[in-house]
Amino acid sequence: MASEKKAGTRAADALQKYLEEQILSGALPEGSVLPPERELMTQFETSRTVVREAITSLTNRGLLENRPRFRPVVRKPGYDAAMDALGGIARHLLGTKQGVSNLYELRIFIESSLVRQAATHATREHISKLKEALEVNLAAIDDPVAFDQSDIAFHSIFYEIPENPVFPALHRTFTAWLSQHWLEMERTPELNRSNYEKHCAIYEAILERDPDRAEKLLKAHLNSSWEDVEGTFVF
């Protein structure tokens, strides 16, 4: 073999590092496909085993998307993709009531603070977004699916306020991980109206720049939602 074999460095790691740099630097743009394995193999004077190991590893780390029998597609994972991967790892933690409870408590904790922040720092723009979301809420009261979406949309606005991409990713993670439990529950127009009114109350507290009341209302809102769904858990 012509390539030098440094002790301690694995060929697979070297290739992986090279590909990672190519992806992160943009030389391999997002959405593009990797060269065929055999081409990489000749290019790097190595075996397909090595190439495939590098590809698998990068796939596991979310930098490649690898459908069977297709060429790997380059992905530059953001916070969302990272949280997705986290979901795969922590899946079994959500398989217990305790796990779901822990996660929901974290959600309440974070969203409470976000609502406080909304009450103190929300711009006119955020507030009008909230108002629009409320109108969509109201319009969707009789449509369970649409109301769910508008419900999520309302809450998501709070996660946009810090202008930190971690927060929207967090919100999507919460809804993705928790939604399945809420799907079990029957949603009546009465329940939707009740939630809509709670949203309105929170909105008003924000308008009045009253963080304590806004936080209290949100906590009550989320806690009652938890109580609604808690009984339906099946593991």
The residue ranges that bind its own copies (CB under 8 A) are: 10, 20, 24, 49, 53, 56-57, 60-62, 68, 76-79, 81-83, 85-86, 88-90, 92-93, 95, 102-103, 105-106, 109-110, 112-113, 162, 164-167
Q: Which does 31 bind (CB under 5 to 8 A by kind): DNA, its own copies, none?
A: none
Binding partner selected for residue 166 from DNA, its own copies, none, CB under the kind-specific 5 to 8 Å limit: its own copies
Minimum separation from the CB atom of position 160 to its own copies (A): 14
Q: State the binding partner of 37 from its own copies, DNA, none, CB within 5 to 8 A by kind.
A: DNA
Dihedral angle computed from the Cα positions of residues 208, 213, 214 and 215, in that order, rounded to the nearest 10 degrees:
150
Dihedral angle over CA of 198, 120, 131, 200, nearest 10 = 10
Comparing CA positions, the residue from 100, 78, 96 lying closest to residue 177 is 100
Contact partner, 71, from its own copies, DNA, none, Cβ < 5-8 Å per class: DNA
d(CA 83, CA 89): 10
* Closest distance of CB 140 from its own copies, Å: 31
Told to check if 228 binds DNA by CB under 7 A, we report no
Task: Residue 79: name the closest of 169, 214, 146 by CA.
Answer: 169
**Helix axis angle, 97-121 to 144-160, nearest 10°:** 60
CA angle 183, 94, 189 (to 5 degrees): 20
Out of 27, 29, 43, 47, the only residue in the binding site for DNA (CB under 7 A) is 47
Residue with tokens 């290739």: 15
In a 3-state reduction of DSSP, which class is residue 226? helix
Q: Contact 199/61 with Cβ under 8 angstroms? A: no
- Residue 92 in contact with DNA, rule: CB under 7 A: no
- CB closer to DNA out of 49 and 96: 49
Residue 62 touches which of DNA, its own copies, none (CB < 5 to 8 A by kind)?
A: its own copies
Nearer to DNA, 59 or 113 (CB): 59
Contact 2, 45 (CB under 8 A): yes
Nearest approach in angstroms of CB 182 to its own copies is: 20
Q: Is 65 in the site for DNA (CB under 7 A)?
A: no
Binding site for DNA (CB under 7 A): 1, 10-13, 34, 36-39, 45-50, 52-53, 66, 68-71
